[in-house]
Chains A and B, each alone.
Chain A
Amino acid sequence: MDRFQKVWELENAAKLVDPQRDALYAYDDAEQKSISNESPWKKDPHYFKNVRISAVALLKMVMHARSGGSIEVMGLMQGKISGDTFIVTDAFRLPVEGTETRVNASDQANEYVVQYLASCRENGRAENAIGWYHSHPGYGCWLSGIDVDTQLTQQMFQDPFLAVVIDPDRTISAGKVEIGAFRTFPKDYQPAASGGGDGYQTIPLAKIEDFGAHASRYYSLEISHFKSTLDSHLLELLWNKYWVSTLSQSPLFTNREYGSKQMLDLSEKIRQAEKNVKAGSRGGQHRFNGQDTQLDKVIRDSNKIAGEEVTGLLVSEFKAKLFNTVGATIAQEDNASKA
């Protein structure tokens, strides 16, 4: 046995793990069962408040979302429950063909899920599926009408269940992962008026109706992510490898298409806002609180776009400052030394 341990380096591998700090990676079947039996979330539609996503799961989901391009993709998440928190430990893709506006699981996908989870269990991973993720390329993280229905069904039959939405296009343009986690309210539940719109986001005009119509049927959860001690060690080492691409890439260039799309959308919104303002001035006693918020939104959108663009420009200016003179200086010195 010692020999066995040594060849496969199990002993050393075990030393890499700090049981205290990496506790989220453990899994207690009995505990999960008892939580599931108690089902505290049945009494309180607002029961779950937080989501913690492991580094691997996050990376897998973002890469999957990005690989879909402008097509929506979908997958499932595995994990466990701890208090009012979903802990997502892993994610896997589903063999589902989405379109540009929707994605839905089919029977074939359900079969796939069953097989996949069975394989996992045989290999000692007892986590259940605790949620699904899908991508909204370019139009922000929220649930559409179809998504709400899907999620509602899942919560009825497979609770606890979580919906995660990722926007790969905005991830690239903003330089940070755009992700949202949601749960729907039961059909007969009327949520108290939500306190504030701190999570403001830009929604394209084509989607805004869909967004507004269902916004009161779900709430979003607080997302944080976690990594193990070994992860952070490896990530530190990785930085040594990929700092070059931080220097060399240009967000303006890679995101040109997305930028133009944003502008087009903005111009359409401005036109609408203008029309409304004009109508309001003619009507006189129009209650224009509504219009004001519309204008406000347009301005926020344009500010956001401007911010992204300026960031991009700064990056390229910065690059030019850093590297453009190098060639010239050296050429000069070369010439000088030759002369």
Chain B
Amino acid sequence: MAPTPTSLLSTHQSPSSDLHINLHPLILLTISDYITRHTLRRQETPIVGALIGQQSGRSVSLEHAFECQTVQYNGQILLHETWFKDRLQQYKDVHLAPALELVGWFTTIPVTGPEGAHVPIHQQILHTYNETAVLLAFHPASVLEEGAAVGGKLPLTIYESVYENNEGQGMEVDGAEAPLELRFRELPYSVETGEAEMISVDFVARGGGNATAIDSAAKDTKGQASQKAVGQVDRKGKAVDRESKAVDDSSMLSSEDEERMRPPFHPSLPAMPLLIIEAVIASLTARANAVKMLHARIQLLKAYLTSLPPSYLTTTTTTTDPPSDPTTPPTDAPISEINHPLLRSILALLSRLPLLLPPEHHSTFRQETLAEKSDVELVSLLGSLGRSVKEAREMGRKFGMVEGASRGKGKSGYMSMAGGAMDDVWSQGVNGDGGSGGGSNGEGLSMDGGYAI
């Protein structure tokens, strides 16, 4: 059931402008936060907010968002002019390096696209602040119908605005007076994250804790997406997201799995304190989940390719199949329509793979890797040396204590051993590790030299 787009969407299928949007996750969370708060505090105003980010050439990054106050004027919803100006300035004041500008706004919009009510704010922003402002439309409806039509896509669309001739009429009116109308055109976007941002998103996503006021152990109802039947590849490859998400959900390692698997991963690990092993396992788990995701995606591509009808040309030169894949006849009903751009990009990917030469052929890269590896090994050697020193010291102390005690017993009753024997113990223990302490220090220094490369 394809929703009919509203009249405000641009119908021109012009090769879309090369304006590229980089969306940061913070924006999503801000919107989500806004919606949640808005609902729970029973606010009646529309959900409208501004987006700030950087614009360089044709690429726009959306980095921060803040909610806005609106006013009703002549039945139109507009931004509160003075309030907005102050607020924007406040945000600009604290985002100086790199300087962020107003680059657009967000609101909640039906999946069908923007409507007349959304135009006044957009025009207001276009006129006063930024001529190329974009509109981020968040679709609550598509969050609700989970997994159905949207798949793994984020429930939002980003529009740019264009002025277009009203078809038909525009041609008749002669000359410069052609009435240009505001239209919205969908823009492609990609999600971009800084490293710190990614870590915290990951941290928030993995860490439990919902926002129940009283900490009742309400269980997360996760993994419902994984029950959705998948397997049918839809003809435009749209199912890519959906299927892999489901696979990913079910196979994501939980913390209980982490508990269970604890074989030594690395020669230097078994001696490591438990805390560090846990950190290593957490990092490896993240990697494992990513690999599963990669695997799922490759599987999906494979499934798509095998479901294609056999080649028109009966020769075997069409090498769009992955090399490892035996060209079995497709079991599903073959898809009649072939998506050529998709096939072409798969081919391009495959032909690029051999060019990724294994780094063994590059001596500098190899050297660098080796240097890094030996650095790390040195550091862990230092760690184990340190532990040995500690143990040696402990040993010396215990030995001294035992010896002192027996000697003390020999001399007089065991009551008098306390004072004298202790001193003995101390000096022995200390003598024992003066030397080894020096040794580990030497290691530390020489490693510094190596590390500074």
**Residue from A226, A247, A286 within 8 A of B210 (CB atoms):** A226
Complex: chain B residue closest to A11, CB-CB: B140
- Mask of B189-208 contacts with A, CB within 8 angstroms, 1/0: 01101111111111111010
Instruction: Name A245-276 residues within 8 Å CB distance of B.
Output: 245-247, 249, 251-252, 254, 259-260, 263-264, 266-267, 270-271, 273-274
CB contact under 8 A between A232 and B353, given known A21-B212, A238-B154, A242-B198: no
Residues of B within 8 A of A54 (CB): 33, 211
- CB-based contact A331/B354 at 8 Å: yes
B367 close to chain A: CB less than 8 A: no
Residues of B within 8 A of A215 (CB): none
Residues of B within 8 A of A17 (CB): 35-36, 39-40
Which label, helix, strand, loop or mixed, suits the secondary structure of the B interface? helix
Residues of B within 8 A of A224 (CB): 207, 209
**Residue from B46, B360, B426, B448 within 8 A of A285 (CB atoms):** B426
Instruction: Name B140-166 residues within 8 Å CB distance of A.
Output: 140-141, 143-144, 146, 152-155
Residues of B within 8 A of A330 (CB): 323, 350, 353-354
Residues of B within 8 A of A7 (CB): 110, 115, 117-118
- CB-based contact B90/A267 at 8 Å: no
Residues of B within 8 A of A264 (CB): 448
A231 close to chain B: CB less than 8 A: yes
CB contact under 8 A between A176 and B441, given known A27-B41, A242-B193: no
A227 close to chain B: CB less than 8 A: yes
Instruction: Name A308-339 residues within 8 Å CB distance of B.
Output: 308-316, 318, 320, 322-328, 330-331, 333-334, 337
Instruction: Name B13-51 residues within 8 Å CB distance of A.
Output: 25-26, 28-30, 32-33, 35-41, 43-47
CB contact under 8 A between A314 and B40, given known A95-B94, A274-B441: no
- CB-based contact B280/A311 at 8 Å: yes
A208 close to chain B: CB less than 8 A: no
B389 close to chain A: CB less than 8 A: yes
Residues of B within 8 A of A92 (CB): 94
**Residue from A95, A235, A252 within 8 A of B204 (CB atoms):** A235
Residues of A within 8 A of B444 (CB): 263, 266-267, 270
Instruction: Name A20-37 residues within 8 Å CB distance of B.
Output: 20-27
- CB-based contact A314/B265 at 8 Å: yes
- Mask of B90-128 contacts with A, CB within 8 angstroms, 1/0: 100111010000000001111000010110000000000
Chain B's interface size range is 35 or more
**Residue from B140, B153, B359 within 8 A of A9 (CB atoms):** B140
- CB-based contact B197/A63 at 8 Å: yes
- CB-based contact B68/A123 at 8 Å: yes
CB contact under 8 A between A242 and B201, given known A124-B41, A252-B372, A285-B426: yes
B122 CB to nearest A CB, Å: 14
Complex: chain A residue closest to B90, CB-CB: A116
Residues of B within 8 A of A288 (CB): 426, 429-430
Residues of A within 8 A of B108 (CB): 8-10, 12-13
Residues of B within 8 A of A189 (CB): none
Residues of B within 8 A of A168 (CB): 196
- CB-based contact B290/A246 at 8 Å: yes
In the bound complex, what is the Cα–Cα distance between A10 and B452 (angstroms)? 57
B421 close to chain A: CB less than 8 A: no
- CB-based contact A56/B26 at 8 Å: yes
Residues of B within 8 A of A235 (CB): 201, 204-205
In the bound complex, what is the Cα–Cα distance between A25 and B213 (angstroms)? 9
Complex: chain A residue closest to B110, CB-CB: A9
- CB-based contact B272/A307 at 8 Å: yes
In the bound complex, what is the Cα–Cα distance between A333 and B83 (angstroms)? 65
Residues of B within 8 A of A60 (CB): 26
Instruction: Name A38-56 residues within 8 Å CB distance of B.
Output: 52, 54-56
Complex: chain A residue closest to B67, CB-CB: A123
Instruction: Name B321-349 residues within 8 Å CB distance of A.
Output: 323
In the bound complex, what is the Cα–Cα distance between A92 and B94 (angstroms)? 9
- CB-based contact A25/B87 at 8 Å: no
A312 CB to nearest B CB, Å: 7
Which label, helix, strand, loop or mixed, suits the secondary structure of the A interface? helix
In the bound complex, what is the Cα–Cα distance between A239 and B29 (angstroms)? 14
Residues of A within 8 A of B93 (CB): 95, 112
- CB-based contact A62/B47 at 8 Å: no
A6 close to chain B: CB less than 8 A: yes
Residues of A within 8 A of B418 (CB): none
Complex: chain A residue closest to B25, CB-CB: A238
A60 CB to nearest B CB, Å: 7
A106 close to chain B: CB less than 8 A: no
Instruction: Name A213-244 residues within 8 Å CB distance of B.
Output: 224-244
CB contact under 8 A between A302 and B193, given known A25-B40, A95-B93, A327-B355: no
A212 close to chain B: CB less than 8 A: no
- CB-based contact B196/A63 at 8 Å: yes
New A-B pairs, 17, CB < 8 Å, besides A59-B26, A228-B36: A12-B141, A13-B38, A16-B140, A16-B144, A19-B39, A123-B69, A171-B199, A226-B209, A226-B210, A227-B210, A240-B248, A264-B448, A274-B441, A299-B387, A303-B273, A323-B356, A330-B323
- Write the residues of chain B forming the contact surface with A, with a CB cutoff of 8 angstroms: 25-26, 28-30, 32-33, 35-41, 43-47, 67-69, 77, 83, 86-87, 90, 93-95, 97, 107-110, 115, 117-118, 139-141, 143-144, 146, 152-155, 190-191, 193-205, 207, 209-213, 218, 220, 222, 225, 241, 244-245, 248-249, 265-266, 268-269, 272-273, 275-277, 279-280, 282-284, 286-287, 289-291, 293-294, 319, 323, 350, 353-360, 369, 372-373, 375-376, 379-380, 382-383, 386-387, 389-390, 393, 423, 426-427, 429-431, 433-434, 437-438, 440-441, 444-445, 447-448, 451-452
Pairs A-B, 5 closest by C-beta atoms = A307-B276, A306-B383, A66-B196, A23-B213, A93-B94
- Write the residues of chain A forming the contact surface with B, with a CB cutoff of 8 angstroms: 4, 6-10, 12-17, 19-27, 52, 54-56, 58-60, 62-63, 65-67, 75, 82, 89-90, 92-95, 112, 115-116, 119, 122-125, 168, 171-172, 174-177, 224-247, 249, 251-252, 254, 259-260, 263-264, 266-267, 270-271, 273-274, 277-278, 280-281, 284-286, 288, 292, 295-296, 298-299, 302-316, 318, 320, 322-328, 330-331, 333-334, 337
| 16 sampled A-B residue pairs with Cβ under 8 A | A7-B115, A8-B47, A15-B140, A23-B40, A123-B83, A226-B211, A227-B211, A234-B155, A236-B245, A285-B423, A288-B430, A295-B437, A299-B390, A306-B382, A309-B375, A310-B280
